[in-house]
């Protein structure tokens, strides 16, 4: 058996479903059957995820124990992932936009104030601070290969309008809804921060397959989940397959 341990928040559900489907079909990793266990990081048994120990912060003691007991040959992470949504789903009256350095040709919203990309990135970095700290804390507790899975891109506005209660506690003005291209750029900015922590912590990064990103930058309908934030099991399957491709060359011998 080749054992992987999955850790994450809400997006880990689709990843786990896709992984279990693959296992049922006899998926093999490193020449041996895949075996997996997934943990939801909001489980009370392993919260808070990071705890103070003396003068330092460290991964939750129970979670460290589970990692030691499982002895996984690979770890997949789907930590956080919705921060970009929280910061971009609506716009204030004075709308704003920014030029994404990696894709400067993308359209700007007409009439919007153009802010520096750095200002957007650092605001998002602050929002993601617990997520990024968790990823690094997990890296510090295992020598196994770790793959950080890119969260799904944003959903189209039409889908958000179908599920307004997911984002708004009260009624809202649809005119305040952000444009899809703006939210795509926010997602790309978030992904760059994931890539940054991965490069620093020797963690592999699995990007969303291009066929799951529609031309407008939103999540392709074929992998929509039941709401307007999360993908489905097909998305999970593909992300696990991508993670397996990254982990396999780094596996040690001796699996049965």
pLDDT in tens, 163-194: 766 666 555 677 888 999 999 999 999 999 99
Please give the pLDDT value at position 93: 84
Mean pLDDT score of the chain: 93
Averaged pLDDT for residues 4-27: 97
Please give the pLDDT value at position 172: 66
- Of residues 254 and 154, more confidently modeled: 154
CB 241 within 8 A of CB 20: no
Averaged pLDDT for residues 218-229: 95
- Number of Cβ within 10 Å of residue 108's Cβ equals 16
Q: Which residues of 75-96 are buried (b: 16+ CB within 10 A; e: fewer)?
A: bbbbbbbbbbbebbbbbeeebb
- Helices marked H in the chain: 12-24, 61-70, 83-88, 117-127, 129-139, 157-162, 180-201, 233-247
Would you say residue 254 has pLDDT above 50? no
Would you say residue 161 has pLDDT above 90? no
Residue-range domains of the chain with CATH:
2-250 (3.40.50.1110)
Please give the pLDDT value at position 256: 37
Please give the pLDDT value at position 255: 43
CB 192 within 8 A of CB 198: no
Report pLDDT digits (tens) over 204-217: 999 999 999 999 99
Report pLDDT digits (tens) over 73-126: 999 999 999 999 989 988 888 999 999 999 999 999 999 999 999 999 999 999
The share of the chain scoring above pLDDT 90, in percent, equals 84
Torsional class of 111: left (φ above 0), alpha (ψ -120 to 50), beta (otherwise): left
3-class state of residue 209 by DSSP: coil
């Amino acid at each position: 058996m080749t054992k992987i341990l999955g850790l994450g928040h809400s997006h880990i559900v689709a990843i786990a479903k896709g992984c279990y489907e693959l296992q049922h079909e006899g998926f093999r990793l490193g020449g041996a059957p895949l075996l997996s266990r997934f943990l939801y990081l909001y489980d009370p048994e392993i919260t808070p995820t990071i705890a103070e120990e003396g003068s330092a912060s460290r991964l939750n003691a129970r979670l460290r124990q589970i990692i030691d007991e499982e002895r996984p040959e690979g770890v997949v992470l789907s930590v956080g992932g919705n921060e970009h949504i929280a910061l971009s789903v609506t716009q204030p009256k004075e709308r704003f936009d920014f030029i994404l350095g990696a894709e400067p040709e993308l359209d700007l919203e007409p009439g919007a104030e153009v802010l520096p990309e750095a200002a957007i990135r650092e605001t998002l970095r602050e929002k993601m601070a617990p997520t990024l700290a968790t990823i690094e804390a997990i890296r510090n507790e295992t020598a196994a290969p770790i793959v950080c899975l890119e969260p799904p891109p944003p959903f189209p506005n039409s889908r958000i309008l179908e599920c307004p209660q997911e984002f708004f506690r009260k009624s809202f003005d649809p005119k305040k809804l952000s444009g899809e291209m703006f939210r795509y750029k926010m997602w790309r900015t978030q992904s760059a921060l994931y890539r940054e922590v991965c490069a620093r912590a020797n963690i592999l990064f699995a990007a969303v397959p291009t066929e799951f990103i529609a031309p407008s930058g939103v999540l392709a309908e074929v992998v929509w989940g039941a709401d307007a934030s999360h993908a489905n099991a097909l998305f999970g399957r593909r992300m696990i397959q991508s993670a397996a491709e990254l982990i396999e060359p780094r596996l040690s011998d001796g699996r049965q």
